[in-house]
């Protein structure tokens, strides 16, 4: 019997992946870049038991038994097993897999990236595989390949038809830009959005803007972004991040029929950030939005206290401040009167944001050795 438990982080792209050239292998039409977020506040956790006593392979996700015949799950398992020594005794044993997210999936935060990265990382430990497993995580969910590494990560689109060169590489470790902070603004929204998978498929089929973006914009922007990250050039980093998010959402509008991921609150956040940067005479905050209305803000530590105070003022919570701000302890600051006055025209009704997570850039997946952390008993039953 073998048992392994791993945790894997969420990543938030600053150059977006949107569009596949191969749906089965999950090969993208452009490079993308992301930061991996700290495991402390948002992560997926997966335990795997591999035992000769298990009569079938089972997979539980957030407490519910999942079908194991899904194409993406099977592809990951098959590709991992290809790397295992065929004489290994336990290769034929069945698996019990149990996975959980430590953040509410209802919040609409990307969970498939952390989830598949965790699954593949844990499988690699079970079968004692070394090397870059990001191309296997990619087959679970494209963006998952970037969660295999900490810090700043590039998913190289690759050119081969078998996808062997479509993998993630680290641009810089999590220690590279220690001042960088992240605020995830969870927007109160009940409308069900279209999945990234189907949205990007329709975009590839119908959006001419996406073709232009992939061919003419992203290659140059990727280079500029890598330079900005390496040089810790916040101003350039922030501009590229916002422009890329906006172009991604323009592609969504150019998709036919269009997919709308941003809502009125998302747009109010965009306007607020531009207003703030302009008012301060300098770029201090960058926003980015994935396939949903939640915002992710990248900013430097020195500006966090004021931005938190501004968010609390413009988006008044319905809950106590201590419940509203989750994650690392938020610094407090009083907004000066003159600024509060000009800010007042941006004020929103109470409750437009559910909560805010204050976090930072973090490391890649890791193994938890304490048996208390296992989500499964040694006989493969969820605890």
The answer to whether residues 48 and 25 touch, using CB atoms and an 8 Å cutoff, is no
Question: Residue 181: which of 37, 325, 364 has the closest Cα?
Answer: 37
The reply on whether position 141 binds ligand DP6 by CB under 6 A is yes
Which of 19, 108, 142, 327 binds ligand DP6 (CB under 6 A)? It is 142
The reply on whether position 135 binds ligand DP6 by CB under 6 A is no
Site for ligand DP6 in 46-85 (CB under 6 A): none
Q: Are strands 180-187 and 58-61 parallel, antiparallel or unpaired?
A: unpaired
CA atoms within 13 A of residue 344's CA, in its CB half-sphere: 6
**Angle at Cα 364 formed by Cα 360 and Cα 370, nearest 5°?**
105
CA distance 109 to 291: 9
Options 129-137, 141-149, 168-176, 353-361: segment touching ligand DP6 (CB under 6 A): 141-149
Q: Residue 167: helix, strand or coil by DSSP?
A: coil
The reply on whether position 324 binds ligand DP6 by CB under 6 A is no
- CA quadruple 68, 70, 72, 77: dihedral, nearest 10: 30
Site for ligand DP6 in 149-168 (CB under 6 A): none
Site for ligand DP6 in 224-253 (CB under 6 A): none
Q: CA quadruple 106, 110, 114, 120: dihedral positive or negative?
A: positive
Closer Cβ to ligand DP6, 201 or 346, answer by number:
201
Options 55-63, 94-102, 110-118, 336-344: segment touching ligand DP6 (CB under 6 A): 110-118
Closer Cβ to ligand DP6, 17 or 358, answer by number:
17
Taking the complex as a whole, the smallest distance from the CB of residue 222 to ligand DP6 amounts, in Å, to 12
Cα 232 to the center of its chain, rounded Å: 21
Taking the complex as a whole, the smallest distance from the CB of residue 200 to ligand DP6 amounts, in Å, to 6
Which of 5, 36, 143, 288 binds ligand DP6 (CB under 6 A)? It is 143
The answer to whether residues 360 and 37 touch, using CB atoms and an 8 Å cutoff, is yes
| Residue carrying structure tokens 């004489």 | 87
Which residues, at least 6 apart from 320, have a Cβ–Cβ distance to it below 8 Å?
none
Write the DSSP symbol of residue 325. E
Question: Residue 19: which of 293, 248, 259, 288 has the closest Cα?
Answer: 248
Closer Cβ to ligand DP6, 16 or 284, answer by number:
16
The reply on whether position 110 binds ligand DP6 by CB under 6 A is yes
Closer Cβ to ligand DP6, 5 or 147, answer by number:
147
The reply on whether position 17 binds ligand DP6 by CB under 6 A is yes
Question: Residue 285: which of 267, 268, 266, 303 has the closest Cα?
Answer: 303
The reply on whether position 197 binds ligand DP6 by CB under 6 A is yes
CA distance 369 to 383: 17
Closer Cβ to ligand DP6, 196 or 277, answer by number:
196
The answer to whether residues 45 and 7 touch, using CB atoms and an 8 Å cutoff, is yes
Options 14-22, 118-126, 173-181, 275-283: segment touching ligand DP6 (CB under 6 A): 14-22
Closer Cβ to ligand DP6, 147 or 277, answer by number:
147
Taking the complex as a whole, the smallest distance from the CB of residue 32 to ligand DP6 amounts, in Å, to 5
Taking the complex as a whole, the smallest distance from the CB of residue 21 to ligand DP6 amounts, in Å, to 12
Which of 98, 123, 291, 330 binds ligand DP6 (CB under 6 A)? It is 291
The reply on whether position 265 binds ligand DP6 by CB under 6 A is no
The answer to whether residues 272 and 297 touch, using CB atoms and an 8 Å cutoff, is no
The reply on whether position 26 binds ligand DP6 by CB under 6 A is yes
Q: Are strands 11-15 and 58-61 parallel, antiparallel or unpaired?
A: unpaired
Which of 46, 112, 247, 283 binds ligand DP6 (CB under 6 A)? It is 112
Which of 6, 13, 139, 272 binds ligand DP6 (CB under 6 A)? It is 13
Which of 100, 174, 290, 306 binds ligand DP6 (CB under 6 A)? It is 290
Q: Are strands 32-36 and 152-155 parallel, antiparallel or unpaired?
A: antiparallel
Binding footprint of ligand DP6 on the chain (CB under 6 A): 13, 16-18, 26, 32, 110, 112-113, 141-143, 196-197, 290-291
């Amino acid at each position: 019997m073998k048992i392994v438990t791993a945790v894997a982080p969420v990543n938030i792209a600053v150059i977006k992946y949107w569009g596949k050239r191969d749906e089965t292998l999950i090969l993208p039409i452009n490079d993308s870049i992301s930061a991996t977020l700290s495991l402390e506040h948002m992560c997926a956790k997966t335990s795997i038991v591999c035992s000769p006593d298990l009569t079938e392979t089972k997979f539980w996700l957030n407490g519910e038994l999942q079908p194991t015949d899904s194409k993406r799950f099977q592809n990951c398992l098959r590709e991992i097993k290809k790397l295992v020594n065929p004489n290994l005794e336990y290769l034929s044993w069945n698996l019990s897999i149990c996975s959980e997210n430590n953040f509410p999936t209802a919040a609409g935060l990307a969970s498939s990236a952390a989830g598949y990265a965790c699954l593949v990382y844990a499988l690699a430990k079970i079968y004692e595989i070394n090397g870059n497993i990001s191309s296997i995580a990619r087959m679970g969910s494209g963006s998952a390949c970037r969660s295999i590494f900490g810090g700043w990560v590039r998913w190289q689109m690759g050119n081969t038809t078998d996808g062997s060169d479509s993998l993630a590489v680290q641009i810089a470790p999590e220690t590279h830009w220690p001042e960088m902070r992240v605020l995830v603004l969870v927007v109160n929204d009940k409308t069900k959005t279209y999945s990234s998978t189907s949205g990007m498929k329709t975009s590839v089929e119908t959006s001419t803007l996406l073709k232009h973006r992939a061919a003419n914009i992203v290659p140059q922007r990727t280079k500029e972004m890598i330079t900005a990250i390496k040089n810790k050039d916040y101003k350039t980093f922030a501009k590229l991040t916002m422009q890329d998010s906006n172009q991604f959402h323009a592609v969504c509008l150019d998709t036919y029929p269009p997919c709308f991921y941003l809502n009125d609150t998302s747009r109010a956040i965009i306007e607020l950030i531009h207003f703030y940067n302009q008012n301060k005479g300098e770029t201090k905050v960058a926003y980015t939005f994935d396939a949903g209305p939640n915002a992710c803000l990248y900013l430097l530590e020195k500006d966090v206290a004021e931005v938190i105070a501004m968010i609390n003022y413009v988006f008044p919570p319905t809950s106590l401040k201590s419940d509203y701000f989750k994650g690392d302890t938020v610094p407090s600051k009083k907004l000066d009167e003159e600024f509060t006055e000009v800010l007042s025209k941006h004020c929103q009704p109470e409750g437009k944001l559910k909560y805010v997570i204050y976090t930072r850039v973090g490391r890649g997946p890791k193994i938890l050795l304490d048996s208390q952390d296992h989500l499964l008993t040694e006989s493969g039953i969820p605890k």
